[in-house]
Amino acid sequence: MPKKARVNDDAAGAWGSVTAAAASTGMLGAAFEANFQSIARQGQGLATPVLESLLKFSAEGGDMPEFGPGGLDVAIAALYEHDEQFIGAMRGIVTHEKDIVKAVEWWTKAAEKGNVLAQVRLANWYCANHDYLKFEHFVALAALNTPIGDKQYDAKITDALENHTSNITTKREGLKVIRDMYGLNMGDDVVEAFAAPMTCAPPHAAVNLTHHIAKCFMNGIYGIKKNLQISKDYLKLSAKLKGTKKYVEADLERLRGCAKCGGTGAWACALCKVTRYCSKECQEWHWFNGDEPHRDHCPRAETPSKYAELKKITAFDLQITSFA
């Protein structure tokens, strides 16, 4: 019997009852349950538990194409998660303990193979766990192959894709607000590079869009020139959003501390007024040395803080995304 037609010797043929049509119309919950029902009809006393069977099948190079790309990974992820949408009434034959870490690992495997369901599931998971960039990353991947409003996908997927389109606009307008407010010499090409769908791995972790903006100005990425004052303003703004302070405090401490040793930043660079040091020795060393010698990266001009003005603007006007 061909490998793809079986799980193992104990459950040979048990998974062949699910049609591609069921999966293609978004009935993945019904399709998954149908598989369990097929197993149950063979007798509930299978020699090998369901999860173990699928793990063995995966190790042998098997797959479940009826669930789309990486379909077997989807099935294993759902079992680790004890996902009701998939397992349904057949939960009684699941004997293993729930393991979210393993579930995310297998959802990720499926997502990397192009499984839209897995990509949206991970987007929702990272949203709930305060990781804005991974949320954006997996929604962007899902949007590559799924037209908005495609009726073969369920409402959660359609909502995520609509969120993706909105997010691009949000980032574009958000950076324009900064450009105008701080009077930056920033071209539209930089704005578009920042707003582009994040299909590559995120460059850092961020809890919301303001935190992401702060880290972009902190590290100088997407063509954005490094500016620690803007970074500081946006870190403080992000910390004001409900439930997010603990996620950005470490970055604020980094800006407040000595740029060389991390100690107490007793004074700031006389030119930019932002980069801080604990001693003259650290300041002199950092001017010439380190991964980013300050001699090369100091803007040699003070950027006035706009935090007071930022606090007066509503979150809606600033186009802030927060998952708190």
Give per-residue pLDDT as tens, 23-71.
Answer: 443 444 555 555 555 555 554 444 457 788 788 888 888 887 777 788 8
Q: Tell me the pLDDT of the chain averaged across its residues.
A: 77
Query: What is the pLDDT averaged over residues 93-120?
Result: 89
Share of the chain above pLDDT 90, in %: 25
**How many residues are listed for the chain in this entry?**
324
Of 21, 107, 104, 108, nearest to 65 by C-alpha is 21
Q: How would you classify residue 167: left for phi > 0, otherwise alpha for psi between -120 and 50, otherwise beta?
A: alpha
Has residue 21 got a pLDDT over 50?
no
Give per-residue pLDDT as tens, 157-187.
Answer: 667 667 777 788 888 988 998 999 999 999 9
What's the token pair of residue 152?
């073969």
Q: 149 CB contacts (<8 Å, ≥6 apart)?
A: 158
Q: 321 CB contacts (<8 Å, ≥6 apart)?
A: 132, 167, 170, 208, 209
What's the token pair of residue 86?
């998939």
How large is the greatest C-alpha to C-alpha distance in the chain, in angstroms?
A: 78
Has residue 321 got a pLDDT over 50?
no
Task: State residue 30's pLDDT score.
Answer: 56
Task: State residue 124's pLDDT score.
Answer: 86
Has residue 94 got a pLDDT over 90?
no
Give per-residue pLDDT as tens, 270-281.
Answer: 888 889 999 999
Instruction: Count each helix (H run) and each strand (E run) in the chain, helices first.
Output: 16, 2
Give per-residue pLDDT as tens, 123-155.
Answer: 889 988 889 899 889 988 888 766 555 545 556
Task: State residue 16's pLDDT score.
Answer: 39
Task: State residue 43's pLDDT score.
Answer: 46
Task: State residue 193's pLDDT score.
Answer: 93
What is the C-alpha to C-alpha distance for residues 315 and 233, in angstroms, rounded to an integer? Answer: 14
Give per-residue pLDDT as tens, 202-220.
Answer: 999 998 888 999 999 998 9
Has residue 15 got a pLDDT over 50?
no
Task: State residue 319's pLDDT score.
Answer: 42
Has residue 111 got a pLDDT over 60?
yes
Task: State residue 8's pLDDT score.
Answer: 40
What is the C-alpha to C-alpha distance for residues 179 and 216, in angstroms, rounded to an integer? Answer: 14
What is the C-alpha to C-alpha distance for residues 7 and 58, in angstroms, rounded to an integer? Answer: 9
Instruction: Compute the C-alpha angle 196/68/72, nearest 5°.
Output: 115
What is the C-alpha to C-alpha distance for residues 279 and 66, in angstroms, rounded to an integer? Answer: 64
| Residue 302 Cα to chain centre, angstroms | 34
**H or E segment at 268?**
strand 267-268
Judge whether 187 and 194 are in contact, CB under 8 Å. Answer: no
Task: State residue 44's pLDDT score.
Answer: 46
Q: Which pTM does this prediction carry? A: 0.75
Of 281, 239, 237, nearest to 259 by C-alpha is 281
